[in-house]
């Protein structure tokens, strides 16, 4: 495993982190398999774990807390998130800070996460949604500074709404944000335009989420793929999105080098960008852990392939199904 500096925190985090959304509340989640996968990831050098209260109402946080308890001799970085008070993912421009993240609510959910993780201090607490027009409101600033001074949170971040990487720029300029989590992959290259350069300027750590475009970049989806009704992907991969996603993935298949899989190519594309500190694929099964972490071997994609992959940028805008 290779490690990268996580912005001004100076943490050395594994460039392949662990996204914990799929570990609780998705179909096919088995706790024994989940714990075995987490343990293997730690054994292979993964030290950055991203969860949220919103992942099964704290269950995913509790799973991470147990993992840290099993590894008292290792520094595992816990990143979690405060859910929006109005329970709307993503946020929308008309929402006010008062209905999404009032100050007392920020404190309340930080306390909940501390309890779920069973720690005295959270490494990285993130806002699970964001609107940049909240940037100059004092309430959130005072709340996070107070929690930091009390030793309950070490660093603060924003999880940027899907396909809205610029909906955070003014907030980063406040100097109070240590990390940004944003969708970045072969298709979603928009963060390179304005977000990444600003993060460089302010020394903000970048977490690249959704490296496989919710599964599209595994190359396994077809236009006939379906998901159970209680699986989030059933509402995301509506026909309009599924058909287009499969077409975009199919266009990439001729570019996959011999000896690589599409998921490995997808991860190596992200790791080729030095602005990214870590990327957080979801890993519920042991083979996924081994395959994803194997991408952190210091080998890079050829420049000619990277240039070709750049042409597969797919600019999208939020819709009613893209939460």
Domain of residue 103, CATH code: 3.20.20.100
pLDDT at position 29, please? Answer: 63
Residue 239 lies in a domain: no
Q: Which tens digits make up the pLDDT trace of 183-211?
A: 999 999 999 999 999 999 999 999 999 99
pLDDT at position 107, please? Answer: 98
Residue 31 lies in a domain: yes
Residue 248 lies in a domain: no
pLDDT at position 109, please? Answer: 98
Q: Among residues 206, 217, 189, which one has the least CA distance to residue 282?
A: 217
**pLDDT at residue 114 tops 60:** yes
pLDDT at position 211, please? Answer: 98
Residue 84 lies in a domain: yes
Q: Which tens digits make up the pLDDT trace of 257-268?
A: 999 999 999 999
Q: Which tens digits make up the pLDDT trace of 17-26?
A: 999 987 655 5
Residue 24 lies in a domain: yes
Residue 138 lies in a domain: yes
Residue 174 lies in a domain: yes
pLDDT at position 25, please? Answer: 56
Residue 284 lies in a domain: yes
- Domain limits for position 81: 3-213+259-304
Q: How many domains does the chain have?
A: 1
């Amino acid at each position: 495993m290779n490690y990268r500096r996580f912005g001004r925190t100076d943490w050395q985090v594994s460039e392949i982190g662990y996204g914990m959304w799929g570990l609780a509340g998705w179909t096919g989640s088995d706790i024994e398999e989940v714990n075995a996968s987490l343990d293997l990831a730690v054994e292979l050098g993964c030290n950055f774990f991203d969860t949220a209260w919103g992942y099964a109402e704290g269950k995913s946080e509790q799973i991470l807390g147990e993992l840290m308890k099993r590894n008292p001799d290792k520094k595992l970085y816990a990143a979690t998130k405060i859910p929006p008070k109005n329970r709307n993912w993503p946020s929308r421009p008309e929402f006010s800070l008062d209905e999404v993240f009032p100050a007392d609510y920020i404190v309340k959910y930080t306390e909940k996460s501390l309890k779920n993780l069973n720690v005295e201090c959270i490494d990285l607490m993130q806002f699970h949604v964001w609107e940049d027009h909240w940037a100059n409101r004092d309430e959130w600033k005072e709340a996070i500074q107070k929690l930091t001074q009390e030793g309950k949170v070490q660093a603060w971040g924003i999880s940027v709404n899907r396909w809205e990487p610029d909906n955070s720029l003014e907030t980063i300029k406040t100097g109070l944000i240590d990390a940004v989590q944003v969708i970045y992959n072969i298709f979603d290259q928009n963060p390179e335009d304005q977000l990444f350069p600003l993060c460089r300027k302010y020394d903000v750590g970048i977490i690249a989420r959704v490296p496989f475009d919710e599964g599209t970049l595994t190359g396994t989806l077809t236009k006939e793929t379906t998901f159970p009704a209680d699986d989030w992907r059933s509402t995301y991969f509506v026909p309009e999105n599924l058909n287009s996603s499969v077409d975009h993935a199919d266009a990439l298949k001729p570019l996959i080098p011999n000896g690589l899989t599409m998921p490995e190519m997808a991860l190596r594309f992200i790791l080729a960008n030095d602005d990214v500190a870590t990327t957080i694929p979801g890993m519920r099964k042991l083979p996924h852990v081994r395959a994803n972490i194997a991408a952190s071997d210091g080998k890079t994609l050829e420049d000619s392939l990277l240039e070709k992959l750049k042409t597969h940028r797919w600019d999208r805008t939020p819709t009613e199904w893209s939460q």
